[in-house]
Every structure is written in structure tokens, then in C-alpha cells.
Amino acid sequence: MNLLFATNNGHKIEEVRRILGASWKIHGLKESGVHAELPETGNTLMANAIEKASFIHDRCQQDCFAEDSGLEVDALHGAPGVHTARYAGPHADAGANNQKLLLALQDTPNRVARFRAVIALWRQGQLHTFEGVIEGRIALEPAGIDGFGYDPLFIPEGYDHPFAALPAEVKSRISHRARAVQKMAQFLQQELAYGME
């Protein structure tokens, strides 16, 4: 199955491809010839995912999906949340975001956090949404060299090391994005199965 992923984030495209496997053909915006800055003006992950998917759906007149994800830290009242990618400023990189997070938590023992991902899918004129969550905690210092974003700091529940220090296949199986993508895949597979009856 071919799917247009409304993103310019190469890390996310590769991660979704790993999650879904070779039978799914995932195409990002650039490789599909779509050159556009995606709007992200929502106050929630859900609103942002829907906004991005709807923008590309209206522009390209084809089925597509978009994703928005965020890190929610209990001691920071859910921050950085919808501002996860720009936590340290609009032009900050992952290193700056991670450093700001560690500084914000330096005086608290409460490291409980979760990653949340929301997918908005336009399919045959209808909008569907899927959510994935993984609980965990924030490490005292970065570890690992794989992954991206906050992966050097986020330790998923049931593990002793952050995503960046775990094998990629583990993250592809248990992450927030994996859980949301798997729900979307199940929906599409059921739709195809019903269509073949």
C-alpha cells in the first residue's frame, strides 16, 4: 500500500517505514514533489496533526496522513507538550532542547514522563485519528547515539536505558509513534479486508 506522509522530517519517515515494513510504501512530501511549509498553529497535538493532514489533503487532493508528537513531563505540568520540537526556541536543535529539559528538572526527583503521538489520516474523504502513548521517565544525563529528538533522555517503562541506547527494532515496536502507526495500519488492513469481501 502506498501512503503519503505529510512531513518533511526524514527521521520520522524512516521510523514509520521501519515500523510498517516493506509491504508499505511510505512517501514524504519532498520525494512526492510537494514543497510546502506545513502549518502548526494548534494548541494540542491532535489539532496540529489534523491541521497538517488537512492542509496537504486539500492541496494535493489525495489521501494522506500527518503526525504530531510530544513529550509530557509531569514535574513540568505536561511541558514541553505541543512545543516539544521548539522547547528551547524556534530554531533550537535537539541538543539545546535536551539541555533545557535537564536544567528544568535538576531540582526535582520526579522524572515521570510520557511520549504521545497523534496521527490524522484522510482516507476516501473521511478523517480518522489514532493515538499512541508510552510511559517512562527522564534520565539524569543523555545516553546512546541512535534515534533523534529526546531519545537520549527518555527511558521507556520497563527498560533501563533511553531510546537512543536501545536497538532500533525495540523503539520501532514499543514507541508512541509505533503504537499510533500500528493502529492506523490495523484500520487500513481491516478496510482492505472488508473491501475484498
Give the residue numbers marked as catalytic: 68
**H or E element: which one contains 11?**
helix 10-20
Three-point CA angle 91, 55, 61, nearest 5°: 140
Give the number of other CB atoms < 10 A from CB of residue 100: 15
* Alpha-carbon torsion (98, 104, 110, 112), positive or negative: negative
Cell output for 111: 522524572
Residue 194 cell numbers, joined? 472488508
Contact between 125 and 57 under an 8 Å Cβ cutoff? The reply is no
The distance from CA 23 to its chain's CA centroid, rounded to whole angstroms, is 21
Q: Give yes or no for a contact between 194 and 149, defined as CB atoms under 8 angstroms apart.
A: no
